[in-house]
Amino acid sequence: MKKLVSSIALLAATMPVAAGDFELTGSVGLENRLFFEKGALPGQISTYQPSLELEADLRWQSSDRAWDVVVIPYTRLDAKDGERTHFDLREAYVRWTGDEWTVRAGLGKVFWGVAESVHLVDIINQSDSVEDIDNEDKLGQPMLEVSTQRDWGQITAYVMPGFRKRTFPGADGRLRPALLVDNDLALFDEGTDDDNDVDFALRYSHYFGDWDVGLSFFHGANREARFIPNSEATALIPHYDDITQFGVDIQYTKDAWLWKFEALVRDSAFETYAAAVGGFEYTFYGVSEAGADLGLLLEFQYDGRSDDPAIAPFTVADNDVFVGARYALNDADDTSILAGIVTDVDDASMSGVIEATKRFGDNWVAEIEGRFFMNVDPDNVAFAFKDDSHVMFRLTRYF
Amino acid sequence: MQLNLLNKTISASILGAVLATSVAFAPLQADEAADKQKGFDIAARSDRSDNGFTSSEVEAIMTLVNAAGRETTRELSFKTLERENEDVGDKGLTVFSTPRDVKGTALLSHAKILEPDNQWLYLPALKRVKRISSANKSGPFVGSEFAFEDFTSTELNKYEYKYVGEETLDGMKVDVVERFPRYKNSGYTRQVSYIDQDVYQVRKIDFYDRKNALLKTLNFSDYKEYDGGVWRAHTLAMTNHQTNKSTTLSYGEYKFKTGLADKDFVKGVLKRVR
């Protein structure tokens, strides 16, 4: 962390303090989750979980466009679950862009991959799981990122001092295991503090005709944790093991077809395993007079890791099929609906999702998100969520 | 033998008939070929009038008006890299700054002529660059009355042409040229373009849908000549005759030769454009 601060200071010191473009925008969102059933655990929220989201977006760019600074503070205030009330700097970095090289230092956010139902190779940022269990909300990752763009593709190297622990619901919260996860007890290969350890990653990305290809390497503390109960069996201790991971993501784009594939090999002190997700997205364009699109999605998820928490973190996407449909109206309000179901091939446990969004006027966006757990087998990891089916309504005002 | 003779006689008379017909149609075919060539020449003269602009950057406001008259706006910027070889298309980068919820959304396009274009979309909320299908030629561009192909299919060789005649439009002498998409998945059977005879700029296009019914009209106005004889329209008004909706694009001042190069139009830059 200290190294990072000094490198930011170094970058900032060489920055021209000339006037550039400054921009401040932001958003305020009010949401409410409605659970269909009472919580199975004592003390859990029974029905409503209202909360408020605030985000600001500050940007500055030098007039020669070589330097830019981005700061995105974010906070959620949850009326019911104190652990879900939290603050994060989603991004806070300085970046220099030259002809062939880009250097960025600070808190950044990076996405790798092509699949829709699970983001397998994506590993740079820790998931802000207390936001939503889809792991698409991320915590800002301290990093020094050096990237070069050449005719043959883009190579990016990441040096990551400092580790972000995953966020988990509190005692009042839903969508949690029976025992609470206590991040204060977290264990790393180096002991209780990972800040002296530095993680590394490397990424190659390019396209060849209709093929988009990404190769990635990561070495450092796993963003997923193994959960082991403490000796009193009153809490779960997260174990963030050191891992080495090789990943590949490929998309083949032909006419209205998008064929997607992601795979990884991950090695820890306990095991080496492979995982993959693959499938397609096919879109029927112009299904309505006004030009709406209907996309159909199908993906297979496989994960070869051990289901023993002494060896590997749990995953729900071990042998599952995702089927989904996306309907986009292509209207002025960007109205769209996505619905999908993931079914476990082994025990037929199902989880469904519906997401709908629509803009009102220029600055208001309304969203509905529903998550449903159906037919959950007692041996499935998702069994802890079996009573947590819910619908979330969110109204956001952008400034 | 007799059979053969008979065959020969029949063949000869068919041949005669064919010859007679082709002689009769010959002038007409020559006219058709001439109209094709003249149509192409007029379109090419117009298209090539800005050759050598190299690259351009411009900001624009898009105003969408629905049938009830309700207006919504989008602010966006366009960067274009000219590729002088007419067998490959230009490269383009479109970035949205409003509506605020999609701020930073960017579309990168590498236009081809008859092959499908390469397109990547950047979704800033997820930091995700997604290769998208370009088969969606006729779909609405961000809910507007412009279709994707209205932006991405401006290359000369994406069409076949036919000269129709001369007309007067807003006091200007214009050549009327029909153009027929050669690329796949177009929503149009044909377009009728009106090109002025003075500075050779497109002033109006009528779009005919797949049933050959008049669908939309695009009017180009507020033309301005930049250095090097490059003309740009600053107001593009698209009216949909079938839905009574309309979209107007108002451009700011164009900047040319801003130092943009191929490296500014690769998918890796999408994460840092704004």
pLDDT given for residue B14 in this prediction: 47
Closest chain B residue to the Cα of A137, Cα to Cα: B126
User: CATH number for the A2-398 domain, one of 2.102.10.10, 2.40.160.100, 3.30.420.40, 3.30.70.920?
Assistant: 2.40.160.100
**Per-residue model confidence as pLDDT tens digits over A247-265:** 999 999 999 999 999 999 9
Q: CATH number, domain at B70?
A: 2.50.20.10
pLDDT given for residue B7 in this prediction: 44
pLDDT > 50? residue B2? no
Task: Specify the DSSP class assigned to residue B90.
Answer: -
Average of per-residue pLDDT across B152-176:
91
pLDDT band at A169 (very low <50, low <70, confident <90, very high): very high
pLDDT > 70? residue A220? yes
pLDDT band at B231 (very low <50, low <70, confident <90, very high): very high
pLDDT band at B163 (very low <50, low <70, confident <90, very high): very high
CA distance A398 to chain B (A): 6
pLDDT > 70? residue B28? no
Residue (of B109, B135, B141, B136) closest to B122 by Cα position: B109
Average of per-residue pLDDT across B69-91:
91
The percentage of chain A sitting over the pLDDT mark of 70, rounded to a whole number, equals 94
pLDDT > 90? residue A365? yes
pLDDT given for residue A264 in this prediction: 98
CB pair distance less than 8 Å for B268 and A154: yes
Q: How many domains does chain B have?
A: 1
Cα separation, A60 vs A24, in Å, equals 9
* Residue among A111, A260, A282 with most chain B CBs within 10 A, to mutate: A111
pLDDT band at A295 (very low <50, low <70, confident <90, very high): very high
Angle at A171 between CA A166 and CA A172, to 5 degrees: 110
pLDDT > 60? residue B138? yes
pLDDT given for residue B19 in this prediction: 47
pLDDT > 70? residue A393? yes
Closest chain B residue to the Cα of A254, Cα to Cα: B133
pLDDT given for residue B8 in this prediction: 41
CB pair distance less than 8 Å for B101 and A136: no
**Per-residue model confidence as pLDDT tens digits over A15-64:** 555 568 899 999 999 999 999 999 989 889 989 999 999 999 999 999 98
pLDDT given for residue B152 in this prediction: 76
Burial of B18 per CB tally in 10 Å (0-12, 13-18, 19+):
exposed
pLDDT given for residue B83 in this prediction: 87
pLDDT band at B25 (very low <50, low <70, confident <90, very high): low
Mean pLDDT of chain A: 93
Residues of chain B positioned with their CB less than 8 A from the CB of A111: 126-129
CB pair distance less than 8 Å for B100 and A362: yes
Tell whether B18 is covered by a domain: no
pLDDT given for residue A195 in this prediction: 67
Contact A262, A255 (CB under 8 A): no
Average of per-residue pLDDT across B141-170:
90
Residue (of B150, B162, B154) closest to B188 by Cα position: B150
Tell whether B41 is covered by a domain: no
Tell whether B201 is covered by a domain: yes
pLDDT given for residue B123 in this prediction: 93
pLDDT > 80? residue A193? no
pTM exceeds 0.80: yes
Tell whether B185 is covered by a domain: yes
Tell whether B159 is covered by a domain: yes
**Per-residue model confidence as pLDDT tens digits over A94-103:** 999 998 999 9
Tell whether B118 is covered by a domain: yes
Tell whether B11 is covered by a domain: no
The percentage of chain A sitting over the pLDDT mark of 90, rounded to a whole number, equals 84
pLDDT given for residue A14 in this prediction: 53
pLDDT given for residue B13 in this prediction: 46
pLDDT given for residue A12 in this prediction: 52
pLDDT band at B115 (very low <50, low <70, confident <90, very high): confident
pLDDT given for residue A51 in this prediction: 97
CB pair distance less than 8 Å for A109 and B127: yes
Contact A108, A197 (CB under 8 A): no
Over chain A, what HEC string results?
CHHHHHHHHHHHHCCCCCCEEEEEEEEEEEEEEEECCCCCCCCCCCCEEEEEEEEEEEEEEECCCCEEEEEEEEEEEECCCCCCCEEEEEEEEEEEECCCEEEEEEEECCCCCCCCCCCCCCCCCCECCCCCCCCCCECCEEEEEEEEEECCEEEEEEEEECCCCCCCCCCCCCCCCCCEECHHHCEECCECCCCCCEEEEEEEEEEECCEEEEEEEEEEECCCCEEEECCCCCEEEEEECEEEEEEEEEEEEECCEEEEEEEEEEECCCCEEEEEEEEEEEEECCCCCCCCEEEEEEEEEEECCCCCCCCCCCCCCCEEEEEEEEEECCCCCCCEEEEEEEEECCCCCEEEEEEEEEEECCCEEEEEEEEEEECCCCCCHHHHHCCCCEEEEEEEEEC
pLDDT given for residue B17 in this prediction: 47
Mean pLDDT of chain B: 88
3-class state of residue B125 by DSSP: coil
pLDDT > 60? residue A9? no
pLDDT given for residue B9 in this prediction: 41
Closest chain A residue to the Cα of B144, Cα to Cα: A332
Contact A29, A394 (CB under 8 A): yes
Average of per-residue pLDDT across A131-147:
95
Lowest mean pLDDT among A189-198, A215-224, B99-108, B188-197: A189-198
Closest chain B residue to the Cα of A113, Cα to Cα: B128
Average of per-residue pLDDT across A103-109:
97
Contact A235, A250 (CB under 8 A): no
Range of the domain at B211: 48-271
**Per-residue model confidence as pLDDT tens digits over B192-222:** 999 999 999 999 999 999 999 999 999 999 9
pLDDT given for residue B26 in this prediction: 54
